[in-house]
Amino acid sequence: MEPQRMDKADFITALFLSIFGLAIVIVSLRMPDFRNLGANPYSAPGIVPAVLGAILSILGMVLLIRSISRKGYYLNFSFSGILFLFKQSSIKRLLIAAVLSLLYVALLGKIHYFILSFSYIFIFILAYEFNLKERILRQKSNFIIAFLEAFLIAGSIALVFQYLFLVRLP
């Protein structure tokens, strides 16, 4: 990431960390200490998280001060800037991989494992290899390779885990 964008990212992260750390301290201090049950007060569940929350908050504030000194608070958000970001090919490649993978995870257990895995691998490969500007018939080798790979991999993983490792598939 470029230094200017990093300072902005650090500013936002530092704000989040400082507040997050404080929230951890508050939630930790509200935890019961079980003294009414005869427990030692120093065994209270909230002690260690409170200390960690305080340390995270302090580190977040140090980062915040540093990012402010580097003018990271000039966020300069604009709609056109965000649109430009999403038009970059690297972001598109990232989003395709992320969205397909998260969709796969979300549908696990709801669709048969083999069908879902086959579809995921098949669509993933074609998402990067299919050329919209070329005719579909000219790209049939891509379809065939994607189909074969998806079928073999999804099938073998399902069989190996179900019958060799005795894992009940999701």
Partner 1 sequence: MLPGLTELGIQISQFLTARYIFDILWSTQLGIIVGMLPGLTATMGVALMTTLTYKFATDHAVLILICMYVGAIFGGSRTAILINIPGTPANAATTVDGNPLAKQGRAGEAMGIATTGSFLGSLFGMFMLAVFTPILGNAALKFLSFEYFWLTIFGIIICGTLTAPKDPLKGWISGFFGLFIAMIGMEGMHAYRRFTFGNIDLAGGIELLPAMIGVFGFSEILMVMKQPAINIVSSKVGKALPYPREILKYWGTIIRSGLIGTIIGAIPGVGEDIGAWVSYDFAKKASKHPEEFGKGSVEGLMAAETGNNAAVAGAIIPVLSLAIPGSAPAAVLLGAMLIHGIRPGPLLMIENPTFVYQVVAMVLLATCAMFILGLLLINVFVKILLIPRQRLMPVIFVLCVIGSYALSSRIFDIWVMAVFGLIGYAMKEMDYPVAPAVLGIILGDLLDQNLRRSLILTKGNITPFFSRPISMVLILLIFFTIASRIRYFQKLWAILLQKAKK
Instruction: Considering only the stretches 33-41, 68-76, 77-85, 132-140, report the one whose residues sit in contact with partner 1 under the rule CB under 8 A.
Output: 33-41
Binding part of the chain for partner 1, among 59-67, 70-78, 79-87, 133-141 by CB under 8 A, reads: 59-67
Task: Tell me the C-alpha distance between 20 and 162, whole Å.
Answer: 42
For residue 101, state whether it binds partner 1 (rule: CB under 8 A): yes
For every residue of the chain, which 3-state class applies, written as one string?
CCHHHHHHHHHHHHHHHHHHHHHHHHHHHCCCCCHHHCCCHHHCCCHHHHHHHHHHHHHHHHHHHHHHHCCCCCCCCCHHHHHHHHHCHHHHHHHHHHHHHHHHHHHECCECHHHHHHHHHHHHHHHHHCCCCCCCHHHHHHHHHHHHHHHHHHHHHHHHHHHHCCCCCC
Q: Which is nearer to partner 1, 58 or 136 (CB)?
A: 58
Applying CB under 8 A, among 66, 143, 147, 151 the residue interacting with partner 1 is 66
The reply to whether 108 sits near partner 1 by the rule CB under 8 A is yes
Based on CB atoms, which residue is closest to partner 1, 82 or 105? 105
**Smallest distance from partner 1 to CB 148, Å:** 11
Comparison of 66 and 143: residue with beta carbon closer to partner 1: 66
Look up residue 158 and give its two tokens: 């399902």
Count Cα neighbours of 39 within 13 Å in the Cβ-side half-sphere.
11
Query: Which region among 72-80, 86-94, 131-139 touches partner 1 (by CB under 8 A)?
Result: 86-94
Which residues in this chain contact partner 1 in the complex, by CB under 8 A? Answer: 1, 6, 9-10, 13, 17, 24, 27-28, 31-32, 34, 39-49, 51-53, 55-56, 59-60, 62-63, 66, 89-91, 93-94, 96-98, 100-102, 104-105, 108-109, 117, 120-121, 124-125, 127-129, 145-146, 149, 153-154, 157, 161, 165-170
